[in-house]
């Protein structure tokens, strides 16, 4: 699925919208600071920003991260006051699409390589050509995570820089193929292993959680629409503006706050420990990534909500260049 490159059709300059753009770019700066501080607090025992009042130097450092990154967002807006809202939205959306498609490529590669490793581990094929120490290494989730998964995600981000295909249909097709292989292996060859079902769940969770931001961009999420489609563009813009500010962004922030709340949170704990499923070494070593998918979902949705805010305010002001989606046209 390739997205339309419509940058050339968007005006770069427009009427100033300083408050809206400060809210949007400030939100992006706060998101970046939140994720950086999470690494500092979980990985290096820094204290949270609110502890800076007690004089803790590490807490002061985490507080300064917020000040610096939010400040950079504000400075960017003040230095480009006439940048059009739709131009800003398109640039941010393209960056978000790059993140999503790169993660898709990484998930694709990890699934293929990890199921191969799991098969060789379960069927003791490693024993035929590796020493005992190396066989034991491939039985450790932290080794596979650090030296197999992470390099594959790096390759995914390099791949995403050159590919213009988002990858949603391909991953959906691979989920179907994986399910088909389970059926064939089980009922034709009487062969079944835990890693086969793990692969389907891994790709399936990535498909739905990572595709949410793109679906929001295309207005593909279910909308209980009684009056919205019949309203004028300006009115729809007002509704989307307040809906984004009061419902969309706060929901994404709540998910992030709960998911990354300390070392023992539902994301930090599995990721730090390279957590695996109850099947242990006979399954894929990807459960920790499936926990991280929830954070990716919230972060990419928050970025997309910033784009939606800019587009909505531009619509409410009647600015040209409105992007009609298939769902609205219907």
pLDDT at 323 exceeding the cut of 70: yes
* Structural domain contains residue 121: yes
Q: Which residue has the higher pLDDT, 321 or 59?
A: 59
Reduced DSSP (H G I as helix, E B as strand, rest coil) percent helix, strand, coil of the chain, to 5: 75, 0, 25
Q: What's the pLDDT band for 325 if we cut at 50, 70, 90? A: low
Map residue 138 onto helix, strand or coil.
coil
* Structural domain contains residue 64: yes
Nearest-angstrom CA–CA distance, 141 and 131: 18
pLDDT at 117 exceeding the cut of 90: yes
Q: Which residue has the higher pLDDT, 211 or 96?
A: 96
Of 93, 101, 102, 112, which is closest to residue 24 (Cα–Cα)?
A: 93
- pLDDT tens digits, one per residue of 188-229: 888 888 888 899 999 999 988 988 988 888 877 777 667 777
Indicate the number of domains in the chain: 2
What are 303's two structure tokens? 């970025």
Contact between 298 and 255 (Cβ < 8 Å): yes
Q: What's the pLDDT band for 172 if we cut at 50, 70, 90? A: confident
What mean pLDDT is predicted for residues 136-159?
95
Tokens 């300059």, residue located: 13
Q: pLDDT above 90 covers what percent of the chain?
A: 64
Asked which of 67, 83, 99 is the last residue of a domain, the reply is: 83
* Structural domain contains residue 228: yes
Nearest-angstrom CA–CA distance, 108 and 112: 6
Provide CB contacts within 8 A for 274, sequence distance 6+.
141, 142, 144, 145, 285, 288
Tokens 């000040």, residue located: 67
Contacts for 62-71 with beta carbons within 8 Å, 24 or more apart? 62/37, 65/33, 65/36, 65/37, 65/40, 66/29, 66/30, 66/33, 66/37, 68/33, 69/29, 69/30, 69/32, 69/33, 69/36, 70/26, 70/29, 70/30, 70/33, 71/29
pLDDT at 328 exceeding the cut of 50: no
The string of DSSP letters for 210-268 reads HSHHHHHHTT-S----SSGGGS-HHHHHHHHHHHIIIIIHHHHHHHHHHHTSSTTSTTH
Residue 30 lies in domain: 15-83
**How far apart, in Å, do the first and last CA atoms of the chain sit?**
21
pLDDT at 4 exceeding the cut of 50: no
pLDDT at 37 exceeding the cut of 80: yes
Q: What's the pLDDT band for 320 if we cut at 50, 70, 90? A: confident
pLDDT at 329 exceeding the cut of 50: no
How much is the mean pLDDT over the chain?
89
DSSP state for residue 3 in the 8-state scheme = P
Put residue 132 in one of left, alpha, beta given phi > 0 → left and psi -120 to 50 → alpha: alpha
Residues 25 and 172 in one domain: no
DSSP state for residue 159 in the 8-state scheme = H
pTM of the predicted protein model: 0.92
What mean pLDDT is predicted for residues 180-190?
87
pLDDT at 6 exceeding the cut of 50: yes
* Structural domain contains residue 9: no
Asked which of 83, 99, 123 is the last residue of a domain, the reply is: 83
- pLDDT tens digits, one per residue of 243-254: 999 999 999 999
* Structural domain contains residue 24: yes
Nearest-angstrom CA–CA distance, 111 and 177: 13
Supply the pLDDT for residue 80: 95
What are 317's two structure tokens? 């002001």
Residues 241 and 268 in one domain: yes
């Amino acid at each position: 699925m390739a997205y339309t490159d419509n940058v050339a059709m968007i005006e770069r300059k427009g009427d100033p919208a300083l408050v809206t753009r400060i809210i949007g770019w400030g939100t992006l700066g706060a998101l970046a600071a939140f994720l950086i501080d999470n690494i500092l607090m979980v990985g290096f025992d820094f204290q949270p920003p609110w502890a800076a009042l007690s004089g803790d130097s590490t807490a002061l450092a985490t507080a300064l991260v917020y000040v610096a990154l939010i400040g950079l967002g504000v400075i960017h807006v003040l230095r480009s006051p006439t940048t059009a809202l739709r131009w800003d939205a398109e640039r941010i959306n393209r960056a978000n699409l790059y993140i999503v498609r790169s993660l898709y490529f990484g998930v694709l590669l990890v699934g293929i390589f990890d199921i191969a490793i799991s098969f060789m581990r379960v069927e003791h094929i490693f024993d035929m050509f590796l020493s005992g120490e190396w066989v034991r290494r491939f039985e450790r989730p932290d080794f596979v995570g650090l030296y197999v998964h992470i390099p594959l995600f790096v390759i995914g981000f390099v791949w995403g820089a050159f590919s213009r295909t988002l990858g949603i249909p391909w991953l959906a097709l691979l989920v179907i193929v994986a399910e088909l292989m389970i059926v064939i292996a089980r009922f034709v060859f009487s062969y079944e292993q835990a890693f086969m079902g793990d692969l389907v769940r891994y790709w399936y969770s990535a498909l739905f959680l990572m595709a949410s931001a793109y679906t929001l961009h295309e207005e593909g999420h279910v909308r209980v629409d009684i009056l919205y489609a019949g309203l004028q563009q300006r009115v729809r813009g007002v509704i989307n503006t307040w809906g984004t500010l009061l419902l969309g962004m706060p929901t994404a922030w709540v998910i992030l706050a709960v998911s990354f709340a300390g070392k023992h949170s539902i994301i930090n704990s599995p990721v730090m420990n390279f957590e695996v499923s109850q099947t242990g070494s006979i399954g894929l070593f990807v459960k920790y990534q499936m926990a991280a998918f929830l954070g990716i979902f919230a972060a990419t949705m928050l970025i997309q909500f910033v784009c939606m805010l800019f587009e909505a305010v531009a619509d409410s002001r009647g600015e040209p260049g409105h992007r009609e989606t298939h769902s609205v046209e219907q």
